[in-house]
Amino acid sequence: MRAIFKREVSAYFNSLIGYIFLAAFFAASGVLFGITSVTKSPTDGLLYLTTDMSGMYSILFFALLVLIPILTMRTLSEDKKNKTDQCLLTAPISLNALVLGKFLAAFMIYSIGVCMTLVYAIVLNFFAEVIWLEVLGNVVGLLLVGAAFISVGVFISSLTENQVIAAVGGFVSMCALYLISSIAAIIPIDWIKNILMKLSFADRYYRFTYGIFDFSNVLFFISAAVIFLFLTVRVLERRRWTNS
Amino acid sequence: MIEVKNLCKSYGDKKAVDNISFKAHDGEILGFLGPNGAGKSTTMNILTGYLSSSSGEAYINGHEILENPIEAKKEIGYLPEFPPLYMDMTVKEYLYFIYELKGVKLPRNTHLKEICELVKIDHVYNRMIKNLSKGYKQRVGVAQALVGNPNVLILDEPTVGLDPKQIIEIRTLIRKLGKNHTVILSSHILSEVQAVCDRVVVINQGKIVADDTADNLSNALTADHKLIARIDGPREEVIKVISAIPGVVSVLADMQREKGVWEYNIEAVEGTDIRRELNRRLAARNWYIMSLRSSELTLEDIFLRLTMGESVDEFINKKASDLDDDGEDEKE
């Protein structure tokens, strides 16, 4: 697993995708930080600063929908296309280790991006007191929802050998996960509606930005990540039987 | 040592590998000979755990590949048909990665240096793999298979796409490796398998059609009754004279190779040797044989022989009479 992790992290920086992802993530979070924490009042024209960063964190969710598919599109599809999967699948490692190594590498790059948001909080700390627990809660929330999205992206990437399809597929499925609660709202059957409401990634993530640290939400995102990684392993396993 | 028992693999209705059984002993080079699509790569992919068999067992040094995959895979070095190289890495980075991936315990730098010297890639060690030529990529692929010094080497068409010099180098290397490894290599070229392998398994359409030592197989498959001769003499008359030799079924003038020297494809009834008679009759007319060799069997011929059994004579005779007709056309 360590070998795969190391190779994947270096591949992100060899292939520019790592830089592109981080640049885009920093740009998105920077712009959002500027808009939400430093505002100019339309009435008196004065600058208002706030140490409440929840606005940035909640809108950053939308950036993830676009950025995470870029991060995960090549994870398994590229190996299949270049036939390097023959080297990985015939090596004495388990499929779990293979998938986990790929996932952790993507998660590592993502974490570098998320940690950048802490820099904004440190900057704000020079001007006024920052509620650190709330900021940390937000960071943990962002990491968790990211982990779940990355594992969805890795799963989509295992289904195709075309990176573009993997990226678009990832984007569409993440949008679908985001829209679950909106879809649920128009379903008249109560029990289906309730189940779908419970599955909403966005609603659960917004709880973190409200400053509520609920362990059931932590558990939800971790389980989602585990489930999709498990499904990825099953896809690879199935491919050995059908070679498709 | 590799032991394969009743291995089958089917994709839907199509049987890619149909009930294959064979053994490869320690220190033996086993050749897999078959045309494209015969099931060579599929068999190799099953042996290495890349694909799962539909039924049957494959033991690598006593470890069943499906039941005990990690242990079995530790024993194998695999070079697939397309070397699995990461183009964005240097040779060094790639071999370090493979070293770590396989969890090798040997001292890293000396071990990798030995391998690089063996396959002669030490002078491209720090170059990006994508910038290497096809031959070097293939060698990096071989190096990758050798990392960890596995007991069993499985090489899928290791010389495809290489130039003749590289082919000879790779063959020499394989023979060298065969002394202390079990090697399985596949090829669709008969002469390659004969040159390198101790034993040959011929497969066609997923089935084993022959399993014998290379020498036995080539003795059984010599074609002394099919000759290619270059003869200095008037074409029409030469054809007439050769056709008159008892046993000859067809004579075909191919093309003029030198001034006045034509190349002829001569086919006699199987089992007859017409070379002496040919010499005598041509010499009597003061025509000269400039070169004489037996035509090599094509892979198609081999499969015909091995698969068609007794009906092969009938087939050849039919083919001969077709050729005869062509020959007559040419005469006119």
- Percent pLDDT > 90 in chain A is 60
Weakest-pLDDT range from A62-71, B2-11, B89-98, B292-301: B292-301
Percent of chain B at pLDDT above 70?
A: 87
More confident: B251 or B308: B251
Residue B310: its pLDDT value, please? 43
Domain locations along chain A: 2-242
DSSP A159: T
Mutate to test the interface with B, among A8, A14, A78, A87 (most CBs of B within 10 A): A87
Residues B94-140: tens digit of each pLDDT = 999 999 999 999 999 999 999 999 888 999 999 999 999 988 999 99
- The pLDDT value given to residue B331: 44
pLDDT digits over B136-156, tens only? 999 999 999 999 999 999 999
The whole-number pLDDT of residue A72 equals 94
The ipTM value here is 0.89
**Residues B226-331, CATH architecture:** 2-Layer Sandwich (3.30)
The pLDDT of A81-90, averaged and rounded, is 92
Q: Residue A65 — very low, low, confident or very high, per pLDDT cuts 50/70/90? A: very high
The alpha-carbon gap from B32 to the nearest alpha carbon of chain A, in Å, equals 20
Which of B50, B146, B156 should one mutate to test binding to chain A, selecting the residue with the greatest count of A CBs within 10 A?
B50
A209-226 pLDDT per residue, tens: 888 888 999 999 999 999
- Given a cut of 60, whether residue B328 has pLDDT beyond it is no
* pLDDT tens-digit readout, A99-154: 999 999 999 999 999 998 899 889 888 888 888 998 999 999 999 999 999 999 99
Confidence of residue B332 (pLDDT cuts 50, 70, 90): very low
Higher pLDDT, B314 or A102: A102
CATH placement of domain B2-219: 3.40.50.300
- Tokens (6 digits) for B174: 């394989």
Q: For residue A94, which residues of chain B lie inside 8 Å, CB to CB?
A: 70
* Alpha-carbon span A164 to A157, nearest angstrom: 10
Q: Of A23-37, A216-230, B196-210, B316-330, where does mean pLDDT reach its minimum? A: B316-330
Residue A90 touches partner B, C-beta closer than 8 Å:
yes
Q: Which of residues 68-87 of A touch B (CB under 8 A)?
A: 82-87
Q: Where are the domains of chain B?
A: 2-219, 226-331
